[in-house]
Amino acid sequence: METNSRETNHRMKTKAEPSHPPVWLLMPDSQPKRARSAERLTRPRQAAPPLDEEALRDRLRAIRTDTANHLDELLGQLTSTLQEQYGVTSLEATTAQEAADEIARLASPSRRVLVNRSATVAELRPYLKAHGLEIVETYDEQFVHPDQGVERYWQLEPPSAETAWEAFRPQAITPSPRQSTDIGVLGVNVAAAKDGTVFFVQHLFNISDILERASKIVLVIGVERVVRDRDAAAFVARSQARYGALSVALGVPRRGGDSKGEVPVGRSLTPASPVRDAAHVPMHAILLDNGRRAWLSDPRYQDLFLCIGCRNCLLECPTQPYYGGETGWTPRDYLAAFLRGDSSSLRECITCGRCGARCPLDIDLPAMISEAKAEAGATRWQDQFYCNIGTLFQASSLTAPLSNWLFNWPLARLPMEWVSEMDRERKLPAFHRNTFLNQYRRRSSAPASGRAVVYYPGCYANFTDPELSWAVVGILERNGFRVLVPEHQCCGVACFPYGAKELAQRYARRRLRVFGPLAQEGYTILVSCPSCGTALERDFPYLLPESDDARLVAEQTRDVSDFLWALHQRGELDTDFDPLKLRVGYHTPCHLRVRDLGPENLRLLELIPGMEPIDIDRGCCGMAGSFGMRRAHREESREIGRYLFEELRSPGYDLGITNCAGCEMQMRAGSGRDVVHPLKLLWRAYSNSGSK
């Protein structure tokens, strides 16, 4: 990288003059009138070279691990570099209060603080306000959305990985002479310990404006943002820009500009009390801990230190507008705020897993959030109702049809709402006294030979939808498999998200006593419920890391649709389907999406003559397990699913399809259309097939 002439001239000045560390901006290549950011990302000037995604992430992880392993060394080196080379004294602030106190001391008489859009600076805001400082946002005023604006990720046209990587180019800059008495407080994206270089990712020009207008600059550097040298810092900053390219467009209000995307000068940056008698901008540095070192000392949260701050975890989070609407928090920020005591609850997290799936470093934020709930004892007595949902289903099945009548009687739902917080307006599924497992035990005949597989129907299919379970058995037997169905027990998937870790572990051990020996014998364990699949594949190994059975069961668990598609790819699937002339809208449940599953359902249905399956990607449906069942989340649940409902109501669909019983319930209630599991359609399409 080459510095521009301003930086070169600055470095040639005598040591007696004030100096500052090198400042680099990563920003999209300039275009006339600053055309909107989305256009810069999606219209590269030339084809970008292909990215080796795995190598990129490996290098990123190595850099971040180096910081975690040598934090004290790197902080000491950066402090010495700033002092010895640039005369900048660094304050290592243990808390946000200490950092705010220092900024208040440095603040000019105008008491105005110009800030960039930084999660690190956001930690200081309440304390800066307590000092009576006026905080001036500089980002939103300069951002212009595309003509129609965007609210959710599916409304964005994603650039290719290569385009996003190539779109941001580093530029070295030198702060201009002071033009106001305002103080600039800038959260640094990355800092290099070796030479003190700091990097910012700038999508428009608000950071440049602050550097030009402020009378003094305070660089706020989260201690996890320090890396070894400039090359590593540039790589991390570029990765932030690449992975956060789409998240930038979300959560930013549409402000000013014209239909051509011309960006106006931010009104909030009108300078106060101009002064022009200084040649250089004094710089100060604050190294902010504010709870970060505690992450390193706790194995449950160590991976938080790997976070590069790209905000990619925000992109698909269904509830971010509710917990982060005012603060701009990402899921990572939401957790960090709770850990340091700035937030009292994590209940807006629905543990869908989308944030973890989008993280370039595979940071398991959902597990960390569940751990934090468990540590804080956040499981309330009403939560036990949902943690033990398997027991409730079993009791409701044993008392059916009386239970079904009670669940549909408004007077009975009122005390239920008080006890469990279950929304009395939520229509519940009908429970079957004659469960699938009871029916299966009494069947008169079954294939005596063939390859054997294990089928785990889960609570919903066993107690409320035996038809789905029989469809699965019928499809598998049609394709030459002998189906083993073990004794039913709940997998306990709802427990850990509520912070009931010990209860979740007990459920896991009970299930492993059954599934462990089967896995040891080499059986494939098939599931038709996405949440049960998540429990067996992901939760059990996490909850019981010492268990070989948990690892083996996870390796041998497959979703039924994924298993069938693999059969088709090997040429072993029976494709003698009857025609079904239907146009169906498919919703991928979160617990399939985060396991890289879902498209196989569309591919299977495309094998049926006359079938036209359409993928409807409108985010989470809003049910999110028991989240949408609770009275407190009634409106929020409906609002999250609104986009899906609106699409499904359109006249182009005959019915909706999804793999998750909770999604099915929500989609039916929100759209008014019938919604079924895709495997029911597959079973219906087999020649001479029908329900058992």
Whether the predicted pLDDT of 90 surpasses 70? yes
Which range, 49-63, 289-303, 324-338, has the best average confidence (pLDDT)?
289-303
Exposure on the CB side of residue 455, measured as CA atoms within 13 A: 27
- With vertex at residue 539, the alpha carbon angle to CA 536 and CA 543, rounded to the nearest 5 degrees, is 120
Distances (CA, A) of 44 to 161, 205, 456, 643: 12, 20, 49, 31
- b vs e for 421-445, b when ≥16 Cβ sit within 10 Å of the residue's Cβ? bbbbebebbebbeebbbeebeeeee
The stretch 648-665 carries a mean pLDDT of: 96
559-578 residue pLDDT tens: 999 999 999 999 999 999 99
Whether the predicted pLDDT of 199 surpasses 90? yes
Whether the predicted pLDDT of 331 surpasses 90? yes
CATH for 5-257+283-292, options being 3.40.50.10420, 3.40.50.1820, 3.40.640.10, 3.40.50.10680: 3.40.50.10420
pTM value surpassing 0.85: yes
**Direct distance between the N- and C-terminal alpha carbons of the chain, in angstroms, rounded to an integer:** 69
Please report the pLDDT score of residue 42 as a whole number: 46
Residue type present at position 540: F
What are phi and psi for residue 222, nearest 5 degrees?
-60, 140
Please report the pLDDT score of residue 258 as a whole number: 36
Number of helices and strands in the chain (H, E): 32, 19
| CA-only gyration radius of the chain, Å | 28
Architecture of domain 570-685: 3-Layer(aba) Sandwich (3.40)
Please report the pLDDT score of residue 16 as a whole number: 40
Q: What is residue 198's three-state secondary structure?
A: strand
Which residue is associated with the tokens 């306000």?
Answer: 129
Strands laid side by side in the 283-288 sheet: 90-93, 283-288, 216-222, 183-187, 112-115, 134-137
Residues 6 or more apart whose Cβ sits within 8 Å of residue 80:
none
User: How confident is residue 110, by pLDDT bands cut at 50, 70 and 90?
Assistant: confident
* Helix (H) or strand (E) run with residue 387 in it: helix 383-387
Rounded CA gap, 601 and 517, in Å? 30
Which residue is associated with the tokens 């020009």?
Answer: 205
Q: Which residues pair with 452 in a beta bridge?
A: 482
Exposure on the CB side of residue 182, measured as CA atoms within 13 A: 26
The stretch 9-25 carries a mean pLDDT of: 55
User: Any idea what DSSP says for residue 180?
Assistant: S
User: Any idea what DSSP says for residue 630?
Assistant: B
225-284 residue pLDDT tens: 999 999 999 999 999 988 988 887 665 543 333 333 333 333 333 333 333 333 467 899
The stretch 4-9 carries a mean pLDDT of: 35
Rounded CA gap, 371 and 302, in Å? 12
Contact between residue 360 and residue 57 where contact means Cβ atoms under 8 Å apart: yes
Whether the predicted pLDDT of 472 surpasses 90? yes
Residues constituting the chain = 692
The answer to whether the 5-257+283-292 and 570-685 domains have the same CATH topology is: yes
Whether the predicted pLDDT of 384 surpasses 50? yes
Rounded CA gap, 261 and 33, in Å? 8
569-619 residue pLDDT tens: 999 999 999 999 999 999 999 999 999 999 999 999 999 999 999 999 999
399-428 residue pLDDT tens: 999 999 999 998 888 888 888 899 999 999
Whether the predicted pLDDT of 531 surpasses 70? yes
Q: Tell me the domain boundaries of the chain.
A: 5-257+283-292, 311-373, 570-685
Distances (CA, A) of 472 to 349, 434, 503, 526, 691: 32, 18, 30, 10, 11
Q: What six digits make up the tokens of 413?
A: 């739902």
Residue type present at position 67: T
Q: What six digits make up the tokens of 209?
A: 């404006």
Of 211, 234, 257, nearest to 37 by C-alpha is: 257
Rounded CA gap, 433 and 464, in Å? 9
Please report the pLDDT score of residue 278 as a whole number: 34
3-state helix, strand, coil in the chain (%, to 5): 45, 15, 40
